[in-house]
Structures are given as C-alpha cells and as structure tokens.
Amino acid sequence: MKCTICKKPAVIKLRHANLKLCPEHLVARVEKVVAETIKKFRMFTPEERVLVAVSGGKDSLALWGILNKLGYRADGVYLDLGIAGYSGRSREFSEGFAAAHGLKLLVVRVEEELGAGIDGLVKVARGKACSLCGTVKRYLLNRVAYEGGYDVLLTGHNLDDEAATLLGNTLCWEEGYLARQHPVLPGEGKLVRRAKPLVFLSEREVAAYCVISGIAYIYEECPHAAGARSITLKRVLNELEDRYPGTKLGFLRGFLKVRERFTPPEPVELRDCPSCGMPTASEGLCRFCRLKERITRHALRVTEDHGAPA
Ligand code: FES
Ligand code: ZN
Ligand code: ZN
C-alpha cells in the first residue's frame, strides 16, 4: 500500500476520504483539517485565550498538541472525576503531556468542588452515572473557563462521537438538541463559547495521529461507560461505515446543511444561582449546587447515624 500523495509506504487507508497515507501525510492531513475547521466555523482567533478540556484520552491530547503547533494560546483543564481505577491514570497522562510540552494544565478535583467524586455521587443521587457526570463536567468546565477569563472552551469530540450523538438525537427527533448540535456554540454572559475542532476527523485518524506523534494516552474507557447507549450507536455506525464508507461524514455534513430547519427551544431566561452565582434556568439553586446539597445532606445523615465524633 502506497501513500496517495508521495508514494512512500502508507500506514493507514481512509476509505471515506479515498486516501492512503504515510505517517508524514497523515499528520499533515489531521493538522490541516483542524486548522480549516477552526477557520471555517470561526471558532476562535490566534489572539483569543483557549482552554482545552483534557481527559488523558487520545482526542483531547491530540487537539491540545495540534493547537499549540498551530500557534494558538491554549491551556488545558483536567477534571479529576474521582472514578476508581480510571481517574488516577488519566490524570497521569494529562500531566505527563503538559510537562513534556511545557503547557499549563489546570487541575480541578471534583471531590473538592462537589463534596464527592463521581463514584460517590452515583451512590447518592438518582440518575445514570454518565448523565450525572455530564452535568458536573459541563458546569465545572464552564466555571473554570469563565473564572479564568478564557474566550472559548474546547472539547475533543471527534467524528465518531458527533455522528453517534446525531444519530441518538435523530432517532428520538430531539428537535431542541438537534438545533443546538453544532461545531461551535456561541457564549452568552457567564456561559463561555464552546467548540469542537475535531468533529471532521474519525477516531482512527486521531488514534493514528497520536501513535505517529508519540502522544501517550489512556486506552481504557471510563468504567461507567459500559452498556451506554452511545457505544451501541457507535457500533451501528461502524457497521454502516464498513459497508458504505463515508456514511459518518456524510451524515454530519448533510445535517449541518439542514440544521437551521430545526426549531431551537424557546430561549429560557437564565438567572444567577443564589449559591454559586453561575447561570441557571431554574428558580432556585443550579443543578450542580442541588447535587452538592444532596451530598452534604447524605454525609450529615451518615454522621448522625454513626454518632457525631467526640
Ligand atoms: Fe463521566 Fe464516565 S467519564 S461517567
Ligand atoms: Zn506520503
Ligand atoms: Zn449553583
């Protein structure tokens, strides 16, 4: 197999793009796609301050590395979620990458902010781990970005993630979610702009990029993800992609062309949470503060049941 561009030995075949690429041209392609996506969707400019949500996985580390190669001013933020057997390792990869590249990484421990990590939270609060974790992540990442004065918060969602979310939203005709699914969401007040520069790159391309560039990342998935609907959606899309190369990219690109036909939900008036001051659609405390309250109440009950310390 030869590289379509230079005829040297190719290491990857991208059927959806009709390309076979050598290491050098795979790296060049990935970086070019990211640079073009940032410009096309006007995600941010070189003058703006960028914060990357870093998980220790291939996508976020590749994104962070590429941004710095492209000359953007990008810091990272790592949320230590408090998930046994996963958080410690993912933190090591994130800190290792930051140290090796001389980049600034902010580390936030969920347990310190919430009173418990995700493992503790799922024992106390109703709801699935991933959805509770999603609430906590969205809130903390936004708050860190806002308080740090960053212009934009980036996540490493790739084409496989985005196509799976799109399929999930389409199967239920979640019109509000469809209207809000976009590579960049503008900021408003204390809600910082969010963007996903990897959405046109497949998981395989990003993984190959990391291997070729020597980026060490955590392979394990979060243990709470086992059985998640998103995994089934990805599997179905992979089967389709195998038979019909280009399915995922066509699905996402096609959607972005018709997206404006979906009606966004009526804008809700946001107020400041009386406890933390961050925006919320609810009358009282924001969802994060309500979870925090539940954990505090639970901890108090446990202390009472076991007798207050002398
Ligand atoms: Fe949040 Fe798995 S990363 S539950
Ligand atoms: Zn080549
Ligand atoms: Zn709050």
Domains detected in the chain: 22-271 (3.40.50.620)
Dihedral (CA of 106, 111, 117, 122) sign:
negative
Residue 305: the pLDDT is 77
Mean pLDDT computed over every residue of the chain: 95
Residue 309: the pLDDT is 54
User: Quick check: 53 pLDDT over 90?
Assistant: yes
28: CA distance to ligand 2 center in Å?
9
Q: Provide φ and ψ at 271, rounded to 5°.
A: -120, 170
Angle between helix axes 58-69 and 203-213 (nearest 10 degrees) is 60
Give the model confidence (pLDDT) of 209-231 as tens digits.
Answer: 999 999 999 999 899 988 889 99
User: Could you identify the atom of ligand 1 that is nearest to the CA of residue 137?
Assistant: 1
Tell the residue nearest (CA) to atom 4 of ligand 1.
130
Q: What is the dihedral of CA 43, 45, 46, 49, to 10 degrees?
A: -70
Q: 51 CB under 6 A from ligand 1?
A: no
Residue 184: the pLDDT is 98
Residue 44: the pLDDT is 98
Tell the residue nearest (CA) to atom 3 of ligand 1.
222
3-state secondary structure of 185: strand
Given the DSSP bridges, would you call strands 19-21 and 12-14 parallel, antiparallel or unpaired?
antiparallel
- Averaged pLDDT, 270-294: 96
185 touches 194 (CB < 8 A): yes
- Averaged pLDDT, 57-81: 97
**Predicted confidence band at 308 (pLDDT cuts at 50, 70, 90)?**
low
Percentage of the chain with pLDDT > 90?
A: 90
Which single residue is written with the structure tokens 């959606």?
233
Q: 82 CB under 6 A from ligand 1?
A: no
